[in-house]
Amino acid sequence: RSREAVLDDIRTSMDDIPGIVISVEQPLAHLISHMVSGVKAQVGIKIYGEDLTVLRNTAKKMEGVMQSVPGVTDVLVEPQVEIPQLQIKLNRDKLRLYGLTPAYVNEYIETAMNGLVVSQVLQGQRTFDLLIRMDEKYREDLQALKRLSIELPNGGTTPLSSVADISASSGPNTINREKVQKRIIVQCNVSGRGLVDVVKDIQEKQQPIIDALPAGYFVEYSGQFENQQAASRMISALFLVSMLGVFLVLFTMFHSANFSLQVMAALPMAFIGSVIALVVTGQTLTIAAMVGFISLGGIASRNGILLLNHYLHLVKYEGEDWTREMIIRAGQERLAPVLMTALTSGIGLVPLALSQGEAGKEILYPVATVIIGGLLSSTILEFFIRPALFWNFGRKAGARIVEQTGMDIPLIEEREEIPVSVAAGQN
């Protein structure tokens, strides 16, 4: 079964358990996403602001919107549980009256409730901290906390209730902060659709909620989508660098910008097949597919080099002229080598291209699909488009290359003079 089918079965079986929320992904994907962006999901929306109530209400609205987007699964708002709390609000005027400082009282309360390490106890080879604090039954007693005696700087004591307002309430068990703001996350995974398409739909539907946020509140998209965007920008830059490198290598080889560009004309022919292959297999343009496009650039250029080199070889060493017959002969003689190189590269990738949905092949499958589709289109079009391009735009450049190498090859109108000069040389 495919990976998506297994994940769907897990989600279906877990839906029957009441009172839980789940997010199903592979452990490595969870770990990498959490380390890079702090979100354990493919898509995460981080909402920043000061009021937790506003953040929670906004997150609930976004959760409902995300659930309506096709392809979205495992929608989850960052869990926060309301727990009983004791709120202690210090009265600064009364603190000054007794000569106390907020820091001193806070430290005193911290010692009473959570304890203070005053020593260590050695038992055998193990060391244990020795704490002093209020007994547990008093720590949970609101009235006992109000009666807690605080030592005054000038001697004597006063109860905590005389300098603070103490009340029982409830509040969230965790308050997460990021970028000097309180933060809450709405996250989801994607199933059955491309990540980029799903995020685009989410952004369109969430925009009215974002526009309605109060001043000082803002939203960021995170998760694997954020990483994919950064990787896409990097790969796009590397693609341009690689194409420049290919052009420079070709120019060094042919000493002709015309021939270099003619070789690189194979790239659009290859990309046509790659795009068709992605559409037929129901894939989208992912990072893995972009890597396949970059790899395809070098493979597709190789066929053009073989054919153009053979044009030059026939003219320089076998007495051919720049005629249609020479171009047809070159195509016939290079057909077998071009097919051999294309088949060798393509057949090796067939097992990966047939592994759709198999676990562990998520990255290599798009790469194989792109390369095989590009090889098919570039190999077929190579013998239709390349001769036409060369006949219309490349003959003069080819003649200049031959002249620059010192081989004075006659053109078509000088063809009748060749046998005469050869015969004279034999006499």
Q: 215-260 pLDDT, tens per residue?
A: 999 998 887 777 777 777 888 888 888 888 888 988 888 888 888 8
Among candidate residues 348, 278, 268, the one with its CA nearest the CA of residue 304: 268
**Residue with the larger pLDDT of the pair 56 and 319:** 56
pLDDT at 420 over 50: no
Q: Does domain 83-172 have CATH number 3.30.2090.10?
A: yes
**Distance set, CA 137 to CA 21, 29, 140, 144, 158 (Å):** 35, 45, 6, 9, 21
How many angstroms separate the CA atoms of 223 and 46, rounded? 10
How many angstroms separate the CA atoms of 308 and 262, rounded? 9
Mean model confidence pLDDT for the chain: 82
**Residue with the larger pLDDT of the pair 32 and 369:** 369
Q: What is the per-residue pLDDT for 425?
A: 40
What's the CATH fold of domain 23-79+176-222? Alpha-Beta Plaits (3.30.70)
- Number of Cβ atoms within 10 Å of the Cβ of 345: 17
For 308-368, the DSSP string reads HHHHHHHHHHS---SSHHHHHHHHHHHHHHHHHHHHHHHHHHHHHHT-TT-TT-TTHHHHH
How many angstroms separate the CA atoms of 401 and 394, rounded? 11
Residue spans of the domains in the chain: they are: 23-79+176-222, 83-172, 227-426
pLDDT at 160 over 60: yes
| Superfamily name and number for 227-426 | Multidrug efflux transporter AcrB transmembrane domain (1.20.1640.10)
pLDDT at 69 over 50: yes
Q: What is the per-residue pLDDT for 334?
A: 86
Q: How confident is the model at residue 426 (pLDDT cuts 50, 70, 90)?
A: very low
Residues above pLDDT 70, as percent of the chain: 87
**Distance set, CA 410 to CA 330, 331, 332, 382, 402 (Å):** 18, 22, 23, 28, 10
pLDDT at 427 over 50: no
Q: Kindly give the residue spans of alpha helices, DSSP state H, lying in 125-223.
A: 136-139, 142-146, 195-211
Residues above pLDDT 90, as percent of the chain: 17
Q: What is the per-residue pLDDT for 315?
A: 86
